[in-house]
Homo-oligomer: A and B are copies of this chain.
Amino acid sequence: MFEQLGLIGCGLMGGSFALALKRAGLVRRVVGYSKSPSTTARALQLGVIDVEAPSALLAVSGADLVLLAVPVAATETTLKAIRHLVSPDMLIMDVGSSKRDVVDAARRVLKHDVGVFVPCHPITGREVSGVENADAGLYAGRQVILTPIERTLTTKLDQAVALWRALGCEVVTMSPEAHDAAFAAVSHLPHLLAFALMNSITGQPEGKDYLSMAGPGFRDFSRIAAADPQMWRDVLIANREELARQTEQFQLALAEFQHLIVNGQADELERLINRASHARANWRVSPGAR
C-alpha cells in the first residue's frame, strides 16, 4: 500500500495506472500533474487523480511512489524538475517504450539517487490516447518489462515487481539494451511500417477510394497507425539505432519476396509465405503462451 502516487502525465498510460492502483486498493491518494492544465482538471473531474498539482515537483512532494508517464523525450526535463524532492524512501518508475534513453537520462539527472528509479515498460496501449480513455484494466494480464541497471536498488526493484504483479501483470527483467533491440523488432518497426503505409495510401490521388474498399485485414494491420503521434515521435527517435538495424533486416526480407514475385517463382514464394504463416500461426500474444 502506497500513501501517495505522484503522477506526472495524466494521459492514457498514467491515468490508467492511477485507476488500476485505486481499484486494487494499493494507493491512498493520487496527486497528478500534466503539462496541460486542462488535462489535469479533466483527470480530477474523472476521479483519476484526487489532487491537482501545479507543477511536477509539487506532485512529487509527499509521494512514496512516482510514475513518469510522459513522452520519453520529456524524461530528462521531468526528472530535473523533481530532483530536489527525490528521496531514498521513494520508488520512481516510468512507462516509456524505449529504455536506453530513459536510463541514460535518469543516470545523468538523478546521479547518486538513480537507485530509486526502476525503468519499466508495460506492453499495453490503445489506439486512442488521453485521460478520457484511461482504463483501470489496461495493465491486467499484460507483460511489464523492467530494465534495472547495476545501481538500481534491490529493494526498489522488488517493490516494483510486487506492484506490477498486484496489478495482474507478468514481470520480465532484462537489460535496457536487450529491451530496445527486441522492441525495435516487434513494436517500433511495425508502428513505422503502419505509419508509412497510411501516408503512402493517403498521399495518392485515389487513396480515399482505395481506403473505402479496405477490409478487416487492413483494419487490424493498420490499427497501430492511429497511435499517439507525440509519444511515437519520441520512441522512434530514441531508439533510432536499433530501429535502423531492424528496418534493414526487414528490407532484406522484403527484397527476397519482391524478387520471387517479379520473377513469378511460385514454389519458392509459397515456401517463403509458408514460413511467415507458420511462425505467425504458432505465435501467441504474451503472456498467454508462456
Contact = CB atoms under 8 A, between A and B. Distances in A.
A18 to B, nearest CB: 21
A201 B257 CA distance: 15
Interface residues of A, number: 94
A219 interface: yes
Contact of A237 (B128, B143, B261): B261
Contact of A221 (B183, B190, B234): B190
A200 interface: yes
A185 B202 contact: no
A214 B279 contact: no
Interface string A275-290: 1110111010110011
B199 A275 contact: yes
A281 B240 contact: no
Given A192-B257, A249-B203, A286 B225 contact: no
A130 to B, nearest CB: 12
A261 B240 contact: yes
A132 to B, nearest CB: 14
Interface string A196-230: 11111111101101111111111111111111111
A217 B261 CA distance: 28
Contacts of A191: 217
Contacts of A192: 254, 257, 261
A4 interface: no
Interface string A68-79: 000001000000
A196 B257 contact: yes
B279 A262 contact: no
Interface of A: 73, 123-125, 127-128, 142-143, 145, 172, 181-183, 185-187, 189-204, 206-207, 209-230, 232-234, 236-237, 240, 243-244, 246-247, 249-250, 252-254, 256-258, 261-262, 264, 266, 269-270, 272-277, 279-281, 283, 285-286, 289-290
Identify the 3 closest CB pairs spanning chains A and B, nearest first.
A123-B215, A186-B214, A198-B276
